Structure 1
Amino acid sequence: MVSVSEDRRHGPWPAVRSGVDGKRIVVTGGTRGLGEQIVRLLLTDGASVATCARSEPDLAALAKSLPDDQGREALFTQALDVVEPGLLEEFVEGAAERFDGLDGVVACAGGARGGGLEEADAHDWAATWELNVGHTARLVRAAVPYLRGARGTGGGSVVVIASISGWKPGPQAQYGAAKAAQIHLAASLARELGPDGIRVNAVSPGSMLIPGKRWDRMRVAQPEAFARFATEFPNGQLVAPQEVARVVAFLLSDASSGVSGAHVPVDRAQNAPSAEGY
């Protein structure tokens, strides 16, 4: 069993194996926030993981921080920007060669460019689309030849990290539109790739409390505003990235062999997707 990590707001994380032992998985955007937690959980539970990020120092820091018992040889990293033509495809090919195949991919890299409608120009909308939807489509397309030969009863598994903003309206519109497209993309690809034994699902995290990020900064600098925002959650707690990572790991495991084309919110029943409300 793995050791239990502690979080003061959520209590101890249970030492429960996710069922990905021996799986070979690609995760984009794996050095920070949710992506980092997904990579760490998969490695802890015995998977071989390939991850990419734009910063080589961040990738080196991730590898250096891993406990020896996780086996650093199970981690393959490459610095790249997922929107650069050809680089993502080469990374997937390299990961498949390193691990002698692939069993799953997680499209976690994402984000938004520009501000509100009057501040964001056409380039911001196009960049946001490419970072979220375009990168996801290219990742899956590159991985399909390898996922057809996936191990286990669950076949190949694709997990698309969307967002609560993809199905509950809130600013920024370009980000919400791209995340909504990812949810639809997952359902469509599940139908298209099902005959090849490949499952595709979307996971929509709620507002996550990540150290140093937006909501954590609000918690520290604007405690009253943060407390009001917390009322959007029935139990008063924002979702933690570790909670989302456990759901992603389940969808990559053979235990979820009957789940495909699903949209899975992991948001603690959050109401409005932002502190500005609906």
Structure 2
Amino acid sequence: MNDTDHAGGTGDTGDPADSGISGTGDTPGTAAGTGTHRPRDRRTTAGTNGTAGGAGTAGTAGTVSRSGTAGRTGVRESCAPESGGPESGGPESGGPVVIVTGGSRGLGRETTLRLAAQGCDLAVCGRDAASLEAVAEEVRARYGRTLHTTRLDVLDESALAAFVRESAARFGRVDGLVTVAGGARGADLRGTEASDWDLTCRLNVTHPAIALREAADHLAGTGGSAVLVSSVSGWKPAPPAQYAAAKAAQIHMAASLARELGPRGVRVNCVSPGSMLIEGKGWARLRDEDPRAYREFEKEFPGGRLVDPRDVAEVIAFLLSDGARAVNGANIPVDSGQNAPSAYGY
């Protein structure tokens, strides 16, 4: 696999220029500008969310809860992609602590910046060292927050579990968990193998389950919560089926885990973004390369424009906050009223 983040599960469905493991929650297997759905070459590369600049400062979502009783130890800043311990000379943690998977690009990056803007310290993982370093530097320069980064693939279940445990140990607490990483592999039904279904499920269902399993005790100690990033494809079906099925399972899993963990004071919710306009990703390329097809796709949105990832990050921040303390087991669509999840219909 390419050395990039698994940063999908963000509802950028039907991204016409990306296939294989998509990093934007897109549904691969569509051909740009054709108006038809057709299989494409299978890839085994991980996509990324891309970037959307200038976010993370506005909003009234409130602050992440710190109502628990767990103790907190001082940690020092670590921006080394594969660091095993905190660097000397960094500031001590002074805010709520949130763990974000796939938090260095696209929606993940916007979520990281939004949470840092409201005073959170963060632990972020991803597959691309440069992106991790860039978001760490931005958080430090703009907000002065502590950001611990780890370079890993969320498909490596032992590494993912270790990342959550080590992050909790560094900060001494966990107040929130956001699982942005995800994606899909394969094309249409005839062009998809059993391994594609398995990998897609592992990215979108197994990875958030493991992260939450490792974080649950810490979240219970702080009265914290988790937000799993699903997709419009999880409840407005569109090909490929393996991605839609995995995202639907993720939504149902969040509701089930909310019932299981609720008695311990832990909330679990899903956010299902619609197709997001992220510079450098498929919808932005469609806009630039086939403006007519892009304008047609915009008609799927009552407001006439695709979703801004910063708006999704605002909802994630709200769900982590005390203002959402009565929201549990919910799936919150953030899709601007989108109709078809793809530019090519169902």
Q: Do the structures match in fold with TM over 0.5?
A: yes
Measured after TM superposition, the shift of residue 13 of structure 1 is 8.4
CA distance in 2, matches of 1:17, 1:67: 22
Q: CA 1:219 to 1:86, structure 2 compared with 1: closer, same or farther past 3 Å?
A: same
Q: CA 1:179 to 1:144, structure 2 compared with 1: closer, same or farther past 3 Å?
A: same
1:52–1:79 Cα contact (<8 Å) kept: yes
Structure 2 match to 1:213: 281
> What is the CA deviation profile of residues 3-39 of structure 1, one whole-angstrom value per residue up to 9, with x for unaligned ones?
xxxxxxxx99883343226321000001111001000
CA distance in 1, matches of 2:118, 2:305: 27
1:17–1:45 Cα contact (<8 Å) kept: no
> What is the CA deviation profile of residues 107-127 of structure 1, one whole-angstrom value per residue up to 9, with x for unaligned ones?
110000111111110111100
SS in 2 for 1:127: helix
What letter is aligned with 1:210?
Answer: I
SS in 2 for 1:92: helix
Structure 2 match to 1:5: none
What letter is aligned with 1:61?
Answer: A
What letter is aligned with 1:149?
Answer: G
Structure 2 match to 1:19: 62
1:210–1:241 Cα contact (<8 Å) kept: yes
1:232–1:272 Cα contact (<8 Å) kept: yes
Q: CA 1:17 to 1:75, structure 2 compared with 1: closer, same or farther past 3 Å?
A: farther
1:83 to 155, 160, 167: 155
CA distance in 2, matches of 1:197, 1:40: 26
> What is the CA deviation profile of residues 136-195 of structure 1, one whole-angstrom value per residue up to 9, with x for unaligned ones?
110110101111111xxxx21010100000001111110000000000000000000000
Q: What is the 5 A alignment of 1:1-278?
A: 15-20=58-63, 22-66=95-139, 68-72=141-145, 74-150=146-222, 155-278=223-346
What letter is aligned with 1:128?
Answer: T
CA distance in 2, matches of 1:276, 1:249: 32
SS in 2 for 1:169: coil
Q: CA 1:124 to 1:12, structure 2 compared with 1: closer, same or farther past 3 Å?
A: closer
CA distance in 2, matches of 1:70, 1:12: 12
CA distance in 2, matches of 1:277, 1:126: 26
Runs of 4+ with deviation above 6 angstroms = 11-14
CA distance in 2, matches of 1:16, 1:228: 31
CA distance in 2, matches of 1:66, 1:258: 30
CA distance in 2, matches of 1:69, 1:191: 38
2:99–2:178 Cα contact (<8 Å) kept: yes
Q: Would you say how many aligned residue pairs link Structure 1 and Structure 2?
A: 263
CA distance in 2, matches of 1:170, 1:233: 16
Unaligned runs of 5+ in 1: 1-10
Measured after TM superposition, the shift of residue 106 of structure 1 is 0.5
Higher RCO (C-alpha under 8 Å, 6+ residues apart): 2
Give identity over the alignment, percent.
52
> What is the CA deviation profile of residues 29-50 of structure 1, one whole-angstrom value per residue up to 9, with x for unaligned ones?
0111100100011011100111
1:26–1:51 Cα contact (<8 Å) kept: yes
CA distance in 1, matches of 2:144, 2:61: 17
CA distance in 1, matches of 2:178, 2:172: 18
TM-score after normalising by structure 1? 0.91
From the two aligned structures, give the one with the greater strand fraction: 1
SS in 2 for 1:261: coil
> What is the CA deviation profile of residues 40-87 of structure 1, one whole-angstrom value per residue up to 9, with x for unaligned ones?
110111001111001222211222233524115x11100001111311
Q: Aligned Cα RMSD in Å?
A: 1.6
What letter is aligned with 1:182?
Answer: Q
TM-score after normalising by structure 2? 0.74
